[in-house]
Structure 1
Amino acid sequence: MKKIVLVLMIFSFLVSCKNESEKDQNTVAETAKDSLAPVSDEMMETAVIYEANIRQYSPEGTFDAFTKDIPQLKELGVKVIWLMPMYPISMKNRKATGGRNVEDIEDLEERKKYLGSYYAISDYRAVNPEHGNMEDFDELVQTAHDNGMYVILDWVANHTGWDHQWLEDHKDWYTQNEKGEVVDPINDETGESWGWTDVADLNFDNQELRKAMIEDMLFWVREHDVDGFRADAAHSVPTDFWETAAEAIKAEKPVFMLAEAQDPKDLFHNAFDMGYNWEGHHIMNSIAKGEKSAKDWDEYMQKIDTTFQEDDFLMNFVTNHDENSWAGTVRERMGDASEAMLALSYTIPGMPLIYSGQEYDMDKRLLFFEKDTIPKTKGKVYPLLEKLGELKNTNPALNGGKNAASYIDIKTSAEENILAFKREKDGEVLYYVANMTAAPVSFTAEMEGDFSDYMSGSELSISKDQEMQFEPWAYKILINK
């Protein structure tokens, strides 16, 4: 009898130890998971977003190689990391450089160098083995959280690659022609293909597709603790799908939602927090080329002030993966205006973007379908981004989210050439003044007082009707003393 009692006591002790161990492990897991405050409107006001191209970020092209650099991103004021698609890529109809298909290349060794488009996804719930495994991915997310940064995934809802299992199991989830053949995405205005022949167009009239898509998004939030999504070609998918998806995801935890779109405006009512400032970006390019003026920028800011809701905001950028690979480098598009435009992207309402390599003065177009590598030598842009990032993170006058600082146009005697505006919030006042031309300009501006020149660290006094002269593309960020 005593032996039975002793055995029961030992068993009870072991069970108790096991339960305590599991409790301790769960506590550690919860502590790790809760190491970052939930996504909030306050975070969005001061955030800088970083677009991470894992394939091209390092010679290895791995999650691990990027993860070790995450702490360094704090130097640039980064609070949100957007990962370009890191899912497996379809082999069928895979694209190669020069508009070719990999299948058309006879040399098998030549084929191997073409890795395909990040946006031709074969499985929404897996990671591309070229980047590592799921544990490597989880370590990236946890490292970001430990360093006070949120991670959002590029979500490609409009289409899948041709190897996706859905094509075998659910052909009715795809857009089909009159012959019942699945088609690649079609331009609704012309009725012709966009030329994205490496992907199959999804049909969002199918309610079962919608449910499956939302479940795949929830997988990353529930199982891997991601903090939101950047929706590729968001305007190509019905707004009511995004609204349903956002509601389901936010029931799990607060998330940050970015739409690759500036229209339709109702995308930003319930589905997305932020959109792309595409039109503003193109105006920047045009000003740099001498095709548009500072006055055109003023008119654009007046337009968006009346067409967007008060709590809508946009992502500002001088480059991203599309612009870099297809339209040209910052230097190619903006030339000597590059720095003034970068400073502008930080000082207007919204959230500024840094694209992989931009911080290292990257002046090459990254290959899109092949392995490439960004430079890793700090030059002129890195310290500039450090300084701008600190200002964005700390000065309420640059709040740019749903409760943004005010934006007031400052009149000058050279409205076509000089861009000047004032930002103000919580008693903090900041001015941006820039010569938006390739020639020196003398002008007066409706501003006066004692200022700190933020970029140079010098002090500056401006009296009423004082004439100022700015060299080509010169700019100043002035803070009221």
Structure 2
Amino acid sequence: MKKRAMVFILIMLVIASLSTQTALASEERKMQDEVIYMIMVDRFNNGDTSNDRDANINDPLAYHGGDFKGITEKLDYIKEMGFTAIWLTPIFENMDKGYHGYWIKDFYQTNEYFGSMEEFKTLVKEAHKRDIKVILDFVVNHVGPNHDWLNDPVKRDWFHENKPISNWNDPVEVETGWLYDLPDLDQENPEVSNYLVDAAKWWIQETNIDGYRLDTVKHVPKEFWTDFSAEVKSVKEPFFLIGEVWHDNPNVIVSYQDTGIDGFMDFSQNGSLRTAFEKSNESLGWLFSNNVRNNKLFERPDLLGQFIDNHDMQRFTNLATLNNQDPITQLKLGLTYMYTAPGIPIIYYGTEIALDGGNDPDNRRMMDFNADDNFIKYIKKLGAVRQQQLSLTRGDMELLVDDTGLAIYKRSHADETVIVAINNTSESQSVVLEEEIESGMDLQGLIGGGVVKSGKNGYAIHLDSGQSEIYELVDRDNDNRLSLGVLIGIIIVLLVLFNRLVRSKRNK
């Protein structure tokens, strides 16, 4: 009887421990809680060689073989890294050599190089089984070069006059000019508008996707986006829309926030991220001033997409390497900031292995799944911490220390406080925090481990060069969270006692 009681007590202890560790999971998941993994479909993973056709992995402008099956095979890999959503470059049928997906030929067909509609539906279902959202890249500004519609007399009025954009400060030219010589659709034509909206709604109805990343938003009239947003959200709610308004001036991006688009790619912060972390001893101040600015300008700054690189720019690894820096060290620092600052982190495929690459198309190399996975382990830690700490996705942000490459800041939500320390300098740094944090507590390291205890003068934080840490402020006298070691010990004792109990019953 005593053994049974002991087993029962241990079980209750385990349940209590697990309940505290998973308490955050019981909160309603919101879009700002997501971490997005961006995938260029053709360059990720070849799961079906039968659809490769004329693919040539040695030609950077040709198809390389990535497909829907390849992504489906790697969903567990994506999930284990802590990603909660995937953004896929356009999957629709493309004109010749449109490996990237942005030269659309048919808005209602999948790209035959990527696989069938059924294979894509399987990808969505398998992603949802793993609680991973699927966001599709949707292009309404243009179609592929030499599209058949150009020679269709019925669709003669579907396009703007063939003119390049010469004055980028003229909104009319920006909306009507042919971007990169691609046939520019006239969304003010009701036939064009209805066609694009119907196609967007059809994909939601057919495949149950969770959102669209909207390409080239500033090249399309705001009135269209207002109608588009309302229509697609009438099909599925919630449905997330994140827009690409490629402009360094945030005021230009802000001008689109009343269209119903939920969030936007933060290009201004992207430039600051790259400048701050591409080499050591650079000021991090702009990152925080940009955050203050975003809070003033945007209704939902927490829905801004934060990224350090993407498929249209030189990879960050390449930038760091050219600056004679260790790219993994610099990426760790940059991603630590992205995962702990306001906004939705968007990580370009291959970043987890520090994939190299210059400008387009070199920045779109085939993913290598045989690369060293040490950096992946760090990303897993970041993902786990971000999911466990609501203050990192919903909390206030306060800058505590900013000293040319050294930054310490606080994120607070309800009764939870997290301190983030980043040392992007060429030397070790020590800082004592006094009035900034409540005394008599402990700072529990969530990445490297270890504890910083409150002393007479405050909390003494030490960081080696190129090191960062995320600390949770905990009550040293009333910390109800069992350590992993204690939890494992309890489980082992429980199993031993249970086995003995079973054996004693058999012997009777």
TM-score by length of 2: 0.73
CA contact (8 A) 1:49 1:352 kept: yes
114-123 vs 360-369, greater mean Cα deviation? 360-369
- C-alpha change, 1:366 and 1:70, in structure 2 (3 Å) is farther
Question: Are 1:284 and 2:273 matched, yes or no?
Answer: yes
**Secondary structure of 1:473's partner?**
coil
Query: 1:88 is paired with a residue of what secondary structure?
Result: strand
**Are the equivalent residues in 1 in contact too, given 2:418–2:471 (CA < 8 A)?**
yes
Higher relative contact order, structure no. (Cα contacts within 8 Å, ≥ 6 residues apart): 1
Could you tell me which amino acid in structure 2 is paired with residue 260 of structure 1?
A: E
Seen in structure 2, the aligned counterparts of structure 1 residues 174 and 188 have a Cα distance that, compared at 3 Å, is farther
| Residue type of the alignment partner of 1:62 | D
Of residues 412, 423, 443, the one that matches 1:435 is 423
Q: CA deviation at 1:283?
A: 0.8
Cross-structure match for 2:83: 78
Between the aligned partners of 2:110 and 2:357, the Cα distance in structure 1 is: 27
2:343 is matched with 350
The change in CA–CA distance for 1:328 and 1:115 in structure 2 (over 3 A counts) is farther
Q: 1:187 to 1:217 in 2, by over 3 A?
A: farther
Do structure 1's residue 389 and structure 2's residue 395 form an aligned pair? no
Say if 1:86 and 1:118, in contact at 8 Å, map to a contact too. Answer: yes
What's the CA shift string for 1:72-105, capped at 9, x where partnerless? Answer: 32212222111111222223xxxxxxxxxxxxxx
CA–CA separation in structure 2 for the residues paired with 1:142 and 1:293? 44
Q: Which residue is equivalent to 1:274?
A: 263
Contact 1:316 1:346 in 2 (8 A): no
Give the secondary-structure state (helix, strand or coil) at the position aligned to 1:431.
strand
The within-5 A match list for 1:161-200 is 161-167=144-150, 168=152, 169-176=154-161, 182-183=162-163, 187-189=167-169, 196-197=179-180, 199-200=182-183
Q: Percent identity?
A: 23
Name the residue aligned to 1:63: 68
Q: Secondary structure at the match of 1:373?
A: coil
Does residue 322 in structure 1 map to residue 312 in structure 2? yes
Residue 93 of structure 2: SS of its match in structure 1? coil
Partner of 1:259: 243
**Number of residue pairs the alignment of both structures matches:** 409
- Cα distance in 1 for partners of 2:241, 2:378 equals 28
How far off its partner does 1:308 sit?
1.6
Partner in structure 1 of residue 486 of structure 2: none
Structure 1, residues 33-75: CA drift from partner, whole Å, max 9, x if none? xxxxxxx983313211111211010244121111111133221
Q: How does 1:409-448 map to 2 (within 5 A)?
A: 409-410=399-400, 412=401, 415-445=403-433, 446-447=436-437
Is residue 374 from structure 1 mapped to residue 372 from structure 2 by the alignment?
Answer: no
Give secondary structure in 2 for the equivalent of 1:78: coil
Q: Which amino acid aligns with 1:264?
A: I
Match of 1:459 among 409, 428, 451: 451
Contact 1:329 1:364 in 2 (8 A): no
Unaligned residue ranges in structure 1 (runs of 5+): 1-39, 92-113, 177-181
Structure 1 runs, 4 residues or longer, greater than 6 Å off: 190-195
Tell me the amino acid that sits aligned with residue 82 of structure 1: W
CA RMSD of aligned residues (A): 3.0
Task: Report the counterpart of residue 35 of structure 1 in structure 2.
Answer: none
* Gap change, CA 1:163 and 1:369, over 3 Å in 2: farther
Matched-pair contact (CA < 8 Å) for 2:357–2:363: no
Match of 1:227 in 2: 210
Partners of 1:346 and 1:367 in 2: CA distance: 26
Structure 2 portions without partners, runs of 5+: 1-26, 47-64, 475-508
Q: Deviations over 1:255-292 (max 9, x none)?
A: 11111135421423342222112211211211234685
The corresponding residue for 1:473 is 466
What letter corresponds to residue 285 of structure 1 in structure 2?
A: R
Distance 1:266 1:133, change over 3 A: same
Q: 1:147 to 1:331 in 2, by over 3 A?
A: farther
Say which SS state the counterpart of residue 309 (structure 1) adopts.
coil
2:35 paired with 1:42? no
Q: TM-score under structure 1 normalisation?
A: 0.77
Which residue identity lines up with residue 203 of structure 2 in the other structure? W
Task: Report SS of the residue matched to 2:254.
Answer: coil
Q: Shift of residue 324 of structure 1?
A: 4.3
Q: CA deviation at 1:391?
A: 1.5
